[in-house]
Amino acid sequence: MCGLYYHLNPSNKMEPFNQNQLYLLVINGKPQGPFNIDELKKLNIKPGDFVKASNMDDYKEAHEVAELRELLGFGEQALIPQYFGSFDQRLLASALDWFFVAGVCIIVAFAASLFVSDKTARLSIALSLFVVIPIIKFLYHILMESSAKQATYGKQILGIKVCDLQGYRISFARATGRNMAKLCSVLTLFIGYLFSFFNKQQQCLHDMIAGTLVMKDRLF
């Protein structure tokens, strides 16, 4: 027996599961193991127990791991977020994203200006950055927050991600609505961002409008 099982991924392609994968299991608040699948069965692992494999960045509830759902017969349950990105984490993530997006745009604009000899054209390229950078950043947020990572690079560095109220990945349409709703947070003289200090889920005004959360990874 090679210990390989197969499942269908969302694109209907067969992908192997490694039955010999080892998992750490949190028992009485402490990580123990590692255990293989058979050992987890003997320990009567529950869907809500926390596990971590070598290929996982952080602990997850057992029902969140596709392999365990397949091999142990768990049903996928809604993951209600309990840990949320703080205001300072979100602010630093935003600063990092501005730096990344602006940096790439400035490099591209500089490279383009090298092929232009006319000073007026060079000035136009430079001034266009004030329009191009916000547009690129808007699209960048939509694409990254609706992606499998659920986060921009800045958010990934800070260990936070965007989700809906049940903890699931948001759609492209909802990501668009969320980022458009940021105008409301800005037009209130940025008071909309301070809403996060006055609710348990630390939602800003645009999160309330879009029905989204900024969730923080669990840490042990």
The amino acid at 202? Q
Residue 122 to residue 113: CA distance in whole angstroms: 6
pTM of model > 0.75 = no
User: What does DSSP assign to residue 75?
Assistant: P
Mean per-residue pLDDT pooled into runs of 10, the chain (220 residues): 45 50 85 85 81 82 76 62 89 97 97 92 95 97 96 95 91 96 93 92 95 78
- Beta strands 4-8; 14-18: pairing state: antiparallel
> pLDDT at position 77, please?
54
Give the pLDDT of residue 24: 87
Residue with tokens 């049940």: 166
Domain locations in the chain as residue ranges:
4-72, 87-216
With H, G, I as helix, E, B as strand and everything else as coil, classify residue 37: helix
The whole-number pLDDT of residue 80 equals 65
Amino acid 64: pLDDT: 76
Q: 19: closest CA among 1, 42, 32, 44? A: 1
- Whether 48 contacts 62, CB under 8 Å: yes
Element (H, E) at 50: strand 50-53
**What number of H helices and E strands is found in the chain?**
8, 8
pLDDT of residue 19: 61
Write the CB contacts of 87 (distance below 8 Å, at least 6 apart in sequence): 193, 194, 196, 197, 202
Task: Identify whether the C-beta of residue 54 lies closer than 8 Å to the C-beta of residue 8.
Answer: no
Report pLDDT for 46: 79
pLDDT value of residue 12: 44
pLDDT of res. 76: 55
